[in-house]
Amino acid sequence: MRGKKGSRDVFYNGQVVLSNEQFVLHNHISTSSSDKQQLIPCLEGLEKNTGSYPDVGIFDSGYASFVNDTFAKEENIDLYIPDQEFGKTNKNKPYYHTNFQYDPEIDIYICPKGKQLSFYKKGSKNGFSKRIYRGNECESCPVRHLCTAAKARTIQRDDRQYLRDEMNYKMITSKGQAFYNKRRHKVEPIFGHLKYNLGYQHFFLRGQSKVTAEFNLFCIAYNLIRMMNSKLKLIFGKLTKIIAVFIRQIFIKLNLIVKELIFNHNFYTSILLRCIRQ
Ligand code: SF4
């Protein structure tokens, strides 16, 4: 897949769904650099593992899409996903489409100069219909050259845009903000732990099924560590941190041994085979 810098290489995109208590409830590997298509597999995987879809789901803006919004609506999942433009003021781009306000009551857009864009015609994109709005007074507008190269500015509105509008409205409520802030503290630690505590910067195997198995092992180990930490908290109270660090060191040593085994598995396998033959 394409990497962050645009280069094509072998990358794997690890997806996890966490519970409120930060246990991994579902994980899978994708080979797509985009997260958009991964939300439904995440929710379906969660449903397979736990028997039901969650009441509430919180994902980052990379997962925002009309398809995901529609799926959540159909399955009665209260999703919180800001879109990529959410919270951006685009002050240095005053005529950017997000600076045009839609008025659903009279079905028009208002441009940054306070002029109306009325419904012009219908269109479609990727099989989904959209409505196109066109400026009524653009020809005499003194800033038209900054706004559009055409005679009049147009704005396209997907018929499912109301789902995004509802979502963005939810995201600015105090409940939406609180949920979203919570997400950062819940999801990022697992990847931080993986990359920085365990030094697990890349997968050791190649091929989606092998990488999936490797990622499964990591997630199982992560859940075991979380279980251990919560049990330790119950037993040792304030001493938990010291004991957890000690046990974590043992895990890190074990992890190094496992890495060594994976790196040199051909060597160890050949020794094993020789022993069996003898
Ligand atoms: S060109 Fe049209 S849409 Fe753009 S600012 Fe002027 S009046 Fe508004």
Ligand 1 centroid – CA 145 distance (Å): 9
The pLDDT of residue 32 is above 70:
yes
The residue ranges of every structural domain in the chain are 97-161, 198-278
Ligand 1 centroid – CA 139 distance (Å): 8
Q: What is the pLDDT of residue 245?
A: 76
**Percent of the chain at pLDDT above 70?**
87
The pLDDT of residue 239 is above 80:
no
Q: What is the pLDDT of residue 119?
A: 96
Ligand 1 centroid – CA 112 distance (Å): 7
Q: What is the DSSP letter of 2?
A: B
DSSP β-ladder status, 116-125 and 108-110: antiparallel
Least confident of 18-32, 76-90, 191-205, 232-246: 232-246
Q: What is the pLDDT of residue 271?
A: 57
Q: For residue 144, give the ligand 1 atom closest to its CA.
A: 1
Overall pTM surpassing 0.85 (yes/no) = no
Q: What is the pLDDT of residue 3?
A: 58
Q: What is the pLDDT of residue 39?
A: 96
Mean of pLDDT values over 64-72: 94
User: Read out DSSP for 82-138?
Assistant: --TTTT---TT-TTSGGGSEEETTTTEEE-TTS-EEEEEEEEEETTEEEEEEEESSG
pLDDT in tens, 87-108: 666 678 899 998 999 999 999 9
Reported as half-sphere exposure (CB side, CA atoms, 13 A), residue 91 has a value of 1
Task: Report residue 157's pLDDT band, with 50, 70 and 90 as the boundaries.
Answer: very high
Write the residue with the smallest CA distance to atom 1 of ligand 1.
144
